[in-house]
Amino acid sequence: MDIKNYMQDLGRQARAASRRLATASTAEKNAALLHLATAIRRDKAALLAANAEDLAAARASGLEPAMVDRLTLTDKGVDNMAEGVEQVAKLPDPIGEMGEFKFRPSGIQVGKMRVPLGVIGIIYEARPNVTADAAALCLKSGNAAILRGGSEAIHCNRAIAALIDEALLAAGLPAEAVQVVATTDRAAVGELITMREFVDVIVPRGGKGLIARLLAESRVPMIQHLDGNCHVYLETDADPAKALKIVENAKTQRYGTCNTAESLLVDRAVAAALLPPIAAMLAGKGVEIRGCAETCALLPNTVAASDEDYATEFLAPIISVKVVAGIDEAIAHINRYSSGHTEAIVTDNHPKAMRFLREVDSASVMVNASTRFADGFEYGLGAEIGISTDKIHARGPVGLDGLTSQKWIVFGDGHVRS
């Protein structure tokens, strides 16, 4: 198989299909989505069988247990996949929406219309549900998609791909609107991320290693985040009850998510009052504290934090803690160590809350709320294709709008420029 030719063919077909999809009606797109949801439920047994094939191969090749876990599709997982697709069908169609009109002194009226980006390349790892999720979001936003899943999920991804083809054709849309890369050859990824003429944006979904590699090699713009080293900062005027509740939720609700707090900053003036009850709560949940010298002095038996710890996304029951002199040091520390994902201040002081919002350079900045809220569903986007820690094009949770662009539209009545 000539990988370059194969990928170029996929690209060319995707580009052609994207023209049709850009002008597809909401009814056509929703018909395809609802057909897909029905087909997923109908073929549950076949999907689980395909997944069993993948799992057998994964175990035989000694894939690590966490990866096998992510690869596993359960009966409930198939139902969730179908429901996810139905939820996307229910979202308002962003494409063609006009707005922001204003009359200009020349007499023309200028506004904007939302349009698809064109062709989206999605590169992901073991989770087979991404195939259906990503296809649904691209389709609803009028974009053609080229999906490149992990080689360990190839049987299941192919089975889902066949259902997507069926659903597109049933709705009168081109099957090439969503294409799943059929080869597990790694060279296919290299092609996908460099075909600028056929691919408008790449959305990687996977571990830091995958994303760092793609970022270094991609010639196509990417919407991605590397990691989520999120901070909670307890300012001098923090309400102690809110502080405890927010740290508990931000750190301990789930350890493996990118919006989990990994680092806690506390003002010196309130450290002695606030840290002990927080440490007791964390100890009760088995969370290890790695602290600065002052933290260790206040909390006996605390591990000393290294500089590396402050830069680490633990994704585990570990939190780094640092006592700071005040908001200047807190903001400087965050802007130095954070990955730019999400940070929260706990304070009842209004000017300090506003300074934190303005000066912390992260995709989401919060006042008196848990970092765990940084999420497409919680923000009201309906669904998310990913979370961006970049500033170009999309930032923070990325929903349907992040997969679109706006063109300028002008209404005149024979107007010419003078």
Q: Which residues bind a copy of itself (CB under 8 A)?
A: 19, 22-23, 96, 102, 104, 106, 108, 110, 113, 115, 117-118, 200-201, 221, 239, 241-242, 245-246, 248-250, 253, 335, 344, 357-359, 361-370, 372-374, 378-380, 391-393, 395-397, 405-417
382: left (phi over 0), alpha (psi -120 to 50) or beta: left
DSSP 174: -
d(CA 142, CA 404): 8
Minimum CB–partner distance for residue 28 and a copy of itself (Å): 14
- 249: helix, strand or coil: helix
**Nearest residue (CB) to a copy of itself, 64 versus 413:** 413
**Nearest residue (CB) to a copy of itself, 43 versus 227:** 227
H or E element, residue 323: strand 318-324
**Nearest residue (CB) to a copy of itself, 113 versus 169:** 113
Contact (CB, 8 A) for 321 and 305: yes
**Nearest residue (CB) to a copy of itself, 184 versus 368:** 368
d(CA 369, CA 361): 17
d(CA 275, CA 288): 14
**Nearest residue (CB) to a copy of itself, 84 versus 240:** 240
Structure tokens, 403: 């997969």
Q: Side by side, which strands form the sheet with 342-346?
A: 303-304, 288-291, 318-324, 261-267, 230-234, 342-346
d(CA 22, CA 118): 8
Q: What are the angstrom distances between the C-alpha of 168 and each of 34, 37, 287? A: 10, 12, 48
Minimum CB–partner distance for residue 45 and a copy of itself (Å): 35
- Cα torsion angle, 37, 39, 41, 46, sign: negative
Contact (CB, 8 A) for 263 and 320: yes
Contact (CB, 8 A) for 160 and 154: no
**Nearest residue (CB) to a copy of itself, 68 versus 108:** 108
Minimum CB–partner distance for residue 195 and a copy of itself (Å): 14
d(CA 366, CA 346): 9
**Nearest residue (CB) to a copy of itself, 50 versus 146:** 146
Minimum CB–partner distance for residue 200 and a copy of itself (Å): 6
Minimum CB–partner distance for residue 70 and a copy of itself (Å): 22
Minimum CB–partner distance for residue 91 and a copy of itself (Å): 16
DSSP 36: H
Minimum CB–partner distance for residue 244 and a copy of itself (Å): 10
**Nearest residue (CB) to a copy of itself, 34 versus 365:** 365
Q: Which runs of E-coded beta strand occur in 314-356?
A: 318-324, 342-346
Minimum CB–partner distance for residue 376 and a copy of itself (Å): 11
**Nearest residue (CB) to a copy of itself, 301 versus 418:** 418
Minimum CB–partner distance for residue 243 and a copy of itself (Å): 9
